[in-house]
């Protein structure tokens, strides 16, 4: 990926990043001099813009060559690529001046822990007693001891959840130096706990490269994931990579590509599809063989991916905060703060004090109204969370009713025959478990999409559309107070409500810097519904799947029951089914209240984050008025010399704002027109 203008495009984008970061630093300084509460936000955003990278996630089912493809993309054999399932945790490949690796631990360690863990990691966890475990630097040449699924142990051990959250791999490569991070994920069909690791990352990345296998193109489980977990979650930034295309006979390649396009178009109307050979691309790079690299088919993907990142994705990453800071500098600093302060500086000290005394009751009333609206929002959120809890419990109860029906309708492939054995009983149990897990997973996806996301969206809209109306009244009162102080009207009250709420850093509650431009509360409701369904929905689904896995079911059946099966009692299959029904239903019912409460409380915490951001925006504007007027009174009390000094400072700030706005206009035009 070091060739073909890829690096040049990334370097150009980094120049835009640096330019915007410098403007943000300048804006932080000038707003600080104007006593505006923007300095911290702008400084933080400057650091974020400067350090932000393009995160590319590579995912797909086991045996499709993900790790080899990543190595080809990067140009070095960084990740292990074996013929067995290897990736147990997320691997983030980043730039570093030297090769090193950092291991991160889960906030809450799973129980039980796998037996086969590296001694160094075990000692580290014991040192911190499993609480708030800091990351651990591990030798780069030993990363396989941590990221590879242990082989040679029993299947139950292989399926246990890792205590590690992720590993960061730092590597001195040009492509990584120029702002690209590559994320390797566990295979989607390896195990439900590792699939969950992948699912949690889908909403956090800039692009997803979904690797398919040319020898088994668009398999059922792959298309199911594409439909349910990508398209239905409105994840659009997906590139489909058909790997091992060189293994297809040349005359059959057009048909394979056409078939893949037809299958993908059933889900995505215009899929981005690329057919290639990862091993040829990797060998071409390692051996400096340009003809093999060209033949591999990876170059068109790299060109399109770079164009998408630096222009389409990069435009949003930089243009949105650029427009937001432009608004702060123009509509707040130039149109409100500077004219108001000049007007007050030109007034007598007595006049300023009179105006200050006059607005005090209005500021106090606005503060009181803010507190009342905050209390009302929190009460609405509490009521909403209990409604969501009831909806979740209703869903679990429906599953509990469905499980016996599903078990009755299922016929295992394995038969007890004339000589029932424990091995046959366990095999039949595994088949029933796999069937149940599939039915539960399908039912939960349908429920999330058709019921739960709609309920969440409705609740968010109800809570925050009301808040929007109420808080907008307070903002209008703030604008009127500013008019009272300045003695003239201005146009800052034309700023949309949500842009005033989210501030320059964007939608912090959802981690989305473009929320300010999403179209108000309706955009918020939909965004919130999608993110919470992914984040919390997968937790409850996988919790249920854990209760229905064959190891659990075999354990709860007990040795005595299996012994009776082995003895050859009549109606063995019916008895086994009945026992599985009883235990599965019992465990789901046993955990229903806690699962529903935990999920509802998690969503409630997210709602409170948004409420806090709304209220905080009001507090900032009220505090700004208070602080700015008090500063003017202090300056006037110190005499005309101090007032004149402040006038000169305002003129400098005004000139600086115009300078920054010119740079922003040029940058925005370049980004939008790029």
**What is the 3-class SS of 617-665, one letter each residue?**
HHHHHHHHHHHHHHHHHHHHHCCHHHHHHHHHHHHHHHHHHHHHHHHHH
Side-chain half-sphere CA neighbours of 556 within 13 A: 18
Does 370 share its domain with 285?
no
Q: Other CB atoms closer than 10 Å to residue 144's CB: what's the count?
A: 12
Q: Is residue 672 part of a domain?
A: no
**Chain centre to alpha carbon of residue 483:** 41
Confidence of residue 190 (pLDDT cuts 50, 70, 90): very low
Q: Is residue 642 part of a domain?
A: no
Average pLDDT, rounded, for the chain: 83
Q: What is the pLDDT of residue 291?
A: 94
C-beta of residue 565 within 8 angstroms of C-beta of residue 425: yes
pTM of the model as a whole: 0.80
Confidence check: pLDDT of 144 > 80: no
The per-residue pLDDT for range 518-543, each reduced to its tens digit, is 456 666 777 777 777 666 665 566 56
Does 483 share its domain with 580?
yes
Of the residues 296, 312, 330, which one is the last residue of a structural domain? 296
Confidence check: pLDDT of 433 > 60: yes
Q: Please name the residue that has the structure tokens 């650091």.
A: 47
Does 275 share its domain with 370?
no
Q: Other CB atoms closer than 10 Å to residue 91's CB: what's the count?
A: 25
The better pLDDT of the pair 191, 609 is held by 609
Percent of the chain beyond pLDDT 90?
37
The per-residue pLDDT for range 410-426, each reduced to its tens digit, is 898 888 776 677 778 77
What whole-number distance in Å separates Cα of residue 662 and Cα of residue 674? 18
Q: What is the pLDDT of residue 551?
A: 56
Confidence of residue 338 (pLDDT cuts 50, 70, 90): very high
What whole-number distance in Å separates Cα of residue 615 and Cα of residue 371? 8
What whole-number distance in Å separates Cα of residue 648 and Cα of residue 341? 12
What whole-number distance in Å separates Cα of residue 205 and Cα of residue 511? 12
Sheet holding 54-60, edge to edge: 136-138, 100-105, 164-171, 90-95, 180-184, 54-60, 207-213, 238-243, 272-275
Confidence of residue 515 (pLDDT cuts 50, 70, 90): very low
Domain hosting residue 184, numbered range: 55-296
Paired tokens of 585 = 């239903």
Among 136-150, 615-629, 659-673, the range of highest mean pLDDT:
615-629
How many residues comprise the chain? 674
Side-chain half-sphere CA neighbours of 587 within 13 A: 18
Side-chain half-sphere CA neighbours of 549 within 13 A: 14
SS3 category, 56: strand
Alpha helices in 97-219 (DSSP H): 119-127, 144-147, 155-159, 174-177, 192-201
Paired tokens of 454 = 């709609």
C-beta of residue 136 within 8 angstroms of C-beta of residue 102: yes
Confidence check: pLDDT of 261 > 60: yes
The per-residue pLDDT for range 277-286, each reduced to its tens digit, is 999 999 999 9
C-beta of residue 280 within 8 angstroms of C-beta of residue 296: yes
Q: Give the CATH number for residue 229.
A: 3.40.50.300
Does 474 share its domain with 386?
yes
SS3 category, 87: strand
What whole-number distance in Å separates Cα of residue 71 and Cα of residue 197? 21
Least confident of 162-171, 366-375, 498-507: 498-507
The better pLDDT of the pair 503, 397 is held by 397
Alpha helices in 34-165 (DSSP H): 39-51, 66-74, 119-127, 144-147, 155-159
Q: Please name the residue that has the structure tokens 């179209």.
A: 519
Of the residues 255, 281, 296, which one is the last residue of a structural domain? 296
Q: What is the pLDDT of residue 74?
A: 87
What whole-number distance in Å separates Cα of residue 252 and Cα of residue 336? 68
Does 140 share its domain with 267?
yes
- CA Rg value for the chain: 30
Q: Is residue 631 part of a domain?
A: no
Q: Is residue 333 part of a domain?
A: no
In the chain, % helix, strand, coil (3-state, to 5) comes to 70, 10, 20
C-beta of residue 608 within 8 angstroms of C-beta of residue 532: no
C-beta of residue 412 within 8 angstroms of C-beta of residue 428: yes
CA dihedral of 613, 493, 368, 347, whole degrees rounded to 10: 120
What whole-number distance in Å separates Cα of residue 303 and Cα of residue 306? 5
C-beta of residue 162 within 8 angstroms of C-beta of residue 114: yes
What whole-number distance in Å separates Cα of residue 40 and Cα of residue 393? 43
Of the residues 296, 329, 346, which one is the last residue of a structural domain? 296
Does 99 share its domain with 205?
yes
Confidence of residue 664 (pLDDT cuts 50, 70, 90): very high
Does 411 share its domain with 270?
no
Does 238 share its domain with 372?
no
CA dihedral of 377, 382, 384, 389, whole degrees rounded to 10: 160
Q: Is residue 287 part of a domain?
A: yes
Q: Is residue 659 part of a domain?
A: no
Does 495 share its domain with 380?
yes
What whole-number distance in Å separates Cα of residue 657 and Cα of residue 26? 9
Q: Which residues contact 290 (CB under 8 A, 6 or more apart)?
A: 284
- How many distinct structural domains can be found in the chain? 2
SS3 category, 418: coil
Confidence check: pLDDT of 151 > 80: no
Full DSSP string of 301-363: HHHHHHHIIIIIIHHHHHHHHHHHHHHIIIIIIIIIIHHHHHHHHHS-HHHHHHHHHHHHHHH
C-beta of residue 222 within 8 angstroms of C-beta of residue 60: yes
Looking at residues 331-359, what average pLDDT do you find?
A: 92
Q: Is residue 580 part of a domain?
A: yes
Q: Please name the residue that has the structure tokens 């980043």.
A: 94
SS3 category, 575: helix
Q: Choose among 253, 158, 263: nearest CA to 221.
A: 263
SS3 category, 131: coil
Q: Is residue 160 part of a domain?
A: yes
**End-to-end CA separation in angstroms for the chain:** 22
Confidence of residue 494 (pLDDT cuts 50, 70, 90): low
What whole-number distance in Å separates Cα of residue 240 and Cα of residue 458? 34
Q: Other CB atoms closer than 10 Å to residue 110's CB: what's the count?
A: 12
Confidence check: pLDDT of 8 > 90: no
Q: Which residues on neighbouring strands pair with residue 242, listed in sequence order? A: 212, 275
Q: Choose among 103, 253, 248: nearest CA to 169.
A: 103
The better pLDDT of the pair 142, 193 is held by 142
């Amino acid at each position: 990926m070091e060739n073909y203008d890829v690096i040049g495009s990334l370097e150009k984008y980094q120049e835009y990043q640096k330019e915007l970061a410098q403007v943000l630093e300048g804006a932080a300084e000038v707003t600080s001099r104007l006593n505006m509460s923007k300095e911290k936000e702008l400084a933080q955003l400057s650091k974020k813009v400067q350090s932000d990278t393009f995160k590319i996630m590579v995912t797909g089912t086991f045996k499709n060559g993900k790790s080899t493809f990543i190595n080809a993309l990067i140009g070095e054999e960084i990740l292990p690529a074996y013929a067995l399932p290897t990736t147990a945790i997320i691997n983030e490949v980043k730039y570093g001046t030297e090769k090193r690796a950092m291991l991160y631990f889960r906030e809450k360690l799973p129980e039980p822990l796998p037996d086969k863990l590296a001694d160094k990691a075990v000692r580290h966890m014991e040192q911190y007693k499993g609480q708030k475990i800091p990351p651990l630097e591990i030798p780069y040449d030993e990363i396989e001891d941590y990221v590879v699924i242990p082989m040679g142990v029993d299947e139950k051990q292989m399926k246990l959840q890792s205590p590690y959250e992720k590993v960061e791999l730092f590597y001195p490569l040009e492509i990584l130096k120029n702002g690209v991070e590559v994320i390797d994920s566990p295979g989607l069909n390896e195990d439900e706990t590792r699939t969950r690791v992948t699912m949690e990352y889908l909403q956090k990345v800039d692009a997803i490269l979904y690797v398919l296998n040319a020898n088994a193109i668009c398999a059922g489980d792959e298309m199911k994931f594409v439909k349910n977990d990508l398209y239905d979650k409105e994840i659009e930034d997906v590139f489909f990579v058909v790997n091992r295309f060189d293994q297809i006979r040349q005359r059959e390649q057009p048909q394979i590509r056409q078939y893949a396009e037809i299958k993908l178009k059933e889900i995505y109307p215009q899929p981005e599809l690329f057919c290639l050979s990862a091993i040829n691309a990797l060998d071409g790079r390692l051996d400096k063989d340009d003809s093999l690299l060209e033949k591999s088919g990876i170059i068109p993907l790299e060109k399109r991916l770079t164009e998408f990142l630096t222009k389409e994705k990069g435009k949003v990453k930089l243009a949105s905060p650029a427009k937001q800071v432009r608004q702060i500098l123009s509509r707040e600093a130039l149109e409100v703060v500077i004219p108001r302060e000049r007007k007050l500086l030109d007034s007598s000290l007595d006049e300023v004090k009179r105006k200050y005394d006059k607005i005090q009751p209005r500021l106090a009333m606005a503060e009181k109204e803010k507190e009342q609206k905050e209390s009302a929002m929190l009460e609405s959120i509490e009521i909403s969370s209990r409604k969501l809890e009831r909806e979740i419990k209703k869903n679990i109860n429906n599953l509990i009713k469905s499980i016996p029906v599903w078990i009755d309708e299922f016929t295992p492939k394995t038969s007890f025959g004339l000589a029932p054995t424990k091995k046959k009983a366990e095999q039949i149990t595994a088949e029933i478990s796999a069937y149940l897990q599939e039915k539960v997973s399908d039912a939960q996806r349908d429920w999330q999409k058709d019921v739960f996301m709609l309920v969440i969206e409705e609740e968010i809209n109800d809570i925050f559309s009301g808040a929007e109306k109420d808080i907008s009244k307070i903002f209008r009162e703030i604008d009127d107070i500013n008019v009272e102080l300045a003695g003239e009207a201005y146009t800052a009250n034309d700023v949309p409500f949500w842009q005033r709420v989210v501030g320059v850093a964007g939608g912090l509650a959802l981690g989305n810097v473009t929320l300010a431009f999403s179209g108000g509360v309706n955009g918020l409701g939909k965004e919130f519904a999608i993110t919470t369904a992914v984040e919390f929905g997968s937790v409850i689904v996988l919790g249920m799947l854990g209760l229905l896995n064959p190891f659990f079911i075999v354990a709860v059946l007990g040795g005595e029951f299996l012994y009776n099966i082995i003895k050859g009692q009549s109606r063995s299959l019916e008895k086994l089914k009945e026992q599985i029904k009883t235990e599965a239903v019992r465990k789901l019912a046993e955990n229903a209240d806690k699962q529903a409460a935990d999920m509802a409380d998690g969503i409630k915490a997210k709602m409170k984050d948004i409420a806090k951001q709304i209220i905080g925006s009001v507090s900032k504007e009220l505090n700004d008025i208070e602080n700015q007027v008090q500063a003017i009174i202090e300056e006037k009390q110190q005499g005309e010399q101090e007032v004149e000094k402040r006038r000169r400072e305002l003129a400098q700030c005004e000139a600086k704002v115009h300078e920054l706005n010119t740079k922003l206009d040029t940058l925005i035009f370049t980004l939008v027109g790029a």
